[in-house]
Amino acid sequence: MGKQNWSKTMIGGFAAVTALSMVLAGCGSGSEKPQAADGEKSEAKEKISVSIYDRGQIPKEEGTYSDNRWTQWINENGPVGVDFVPIPRNESQQKYSMLFASGDAPDLVLEYDTDFLNSLWTQKQLLPLDDIVEKSSTEYKALLEKVPALRTLGTKPDGKLYNIGMVTKPEVLGAMVIRQDWLDKLGLEVPQTTEELYAVADAFANEDPDGNGVKDTFGMNLSQFASFYVDAMFQNEMFIIEDDQLVRQFDRIKPAYEFKKKLFENGIVDKDFLSDKNGQKAEQDFASGKLGIYLAYRSVISKNFDTLKNTDPNAKVTAMAFPESEFGRFGPDFNPSIQMTGAVNANAKNPEAVMKYIDFMVTPSTVETLMNGVEGEHYTKESDGKIKPVDEKKNETEMGYLNDYRMFMPKYIVESSNVDGRQLDSADPIDKEWLAIAAEMDTLYLDPAHPHPGFTHAKFRPSLDKAMTTTFNDGWNNMNDTMAKAVVSGSGYSVDQGVEDVKKSWYASGGQALEDWYKQWYQDNKDSWIFMEQLYTMKFE
């Protein structure tokens, strides 16, 4: 199959199937209020089981993850009866493994970790979906036709479709912000190269940008994801496309870690960054006005932005592009428009009933209800069609736990009324300031000219067998652990020695076999797979 123009072949909403959707959805209209269960589900309905993440965050007054106003609404309005099986979010894979081992795994398995879904496929725990989609589906079948990448990414090496997926709008995850007021005070510009980044970070750490006469500021952070974002600036990924070959690179490791080591040794970053595994110390430094350049998840920056502004109303923050290195200019991680999020248990007793549930959940009227709530109760529509919440606090209580119920929905068909939890029409000055920053992040980071490094998104890497998966994961972990040692060990363990040790460990643990496999896979699939550049040009309407 030749390479396709995904921005054209994959676009399209559900206009052609909306009328049919409304008929099939029946009483599942988004305008109908969820009602309390009256005790028994209709005996006429077939029964299935569906997993749902238990994040321990549902308000007590809303019930449980398996029984709340929205599970009741789904059961009352959907075509089948659903038993929701709670899966602890932080222990999902362990829980799933136990359930599969005991024969109690749910009929529909929903999981964000595509590597784990791949492992279930290798264990023959998943059901091929081609036949039931063809014979039993209307809505999801139409979605596959509208968005052919769903089929491409959901198909395994045996040529059969196994995974279902979500279609949404691309979302910025990682971000980089800089204290503009500090730049102004020191007469500096936003850095455009990694050399300029170092110089500005050095000035922030050593030239008293907050004007308190004390050397108590950090230039930038390296904790948690920040270290990986520096890697991204130097294209320090495991596998990259170079000269039309998919190769395991080693030459980008050294410059990335020499940069980190220089920051560390010259006191520009927190010396204890390795122990700040969850990034909370860096959060505190940014929120308290002691950090000049902050690399983190956008949602985390947003949360701490309020604290910073309330502490220092004169603080000014600007989004910045990742600086350019000798390897090019790249961007942070992001959620692409498509994500494979589910599969059907090979032992499901009634796969056709599972497909009925899938169809119901991707029907536009269902999507609208589970995205916006009930019209008149959770939102109203303005004359221009925009959604306006009736009571934001009430909505947070009654809808704040809903996201995982939407795991394979075509969410792009519903316009969002907020960004990072802030209403687009908010009158709050801090909200307005952040919304402008967030809009700039979208411009900077969703630019196909400056993509996240790597040959495709981590979620879309090809399925590997167990041995090669181990080689890949061990190689990644060993590289990070070994090179972190090189950063903090001073002259006792150099970056050069670290790179050599990474290479030795890689080839001693089967790295060459994985390199050969990837090389051949790329030649076989380079005209049909979905690579990084295409993920930035997918558009849905």
Tell me the CB-side half-sphere exposure of residue 346, using CA atoms within 13 A.
13
* Closest to 354 measured CA to CA, from 95, 131, 20, 79: 79
Q: Within 10 A of 527 (CB to CB), how many other CB atoms are there? A: 10
* Closest to 338 measured CA to CA, from 78, 518, 112: 112
Q: State how far the alpha carbon of 7 is from the alpha carbons of 4, 99, 340, 409, in Å.
A: 9, 40, 19, 20
How large is the average pLDDT for residues 283-302? Answer: 97
Alpha carbon distance 45, 42 (integer Å)? 6
> Higher confidence at residue 169 or residue 259?
259
- pLDDT for position 359: 98
* Closest to 412 measured CA to CA, from 12, 110, 108, 26: 12
CA torsion through residues 461, 466, 470, 471, sign: negative
Whether residue 10 has pLDDT greater than 80: no
* Percent residues over pLDDT 90 in the chain: 77
How large is the average pLDDT for residues 151-164? Answer: 93
CA torsion through residues 406, 412, 414, 417, sign: positive
- pLDDT for position 13: 37
- pLDDT for position 462: 86
Q: pLDDT digit string (tens) for 56-101?
A: 999 999 999 999 999 999 999 999 999 999 999 989 999 999 999 9
Domains and CATH numbers, the chain: 46-170+337-413 (3.40.190.10), 172-334+427-445 (3.40.190.10), 461-535 (no CATH)
| Least confident span in 20-24, 80-84, 149-153, 213-217 | 20-24
Kindly indicate the confidence band of residue 433, based on its pLDDT and cuts at 50, 70 and 90: very high
Q: pLDDT digit string (tens) for 180-218?
A: 999 999 999 999 999 999 999 999 999 999 999 999 999
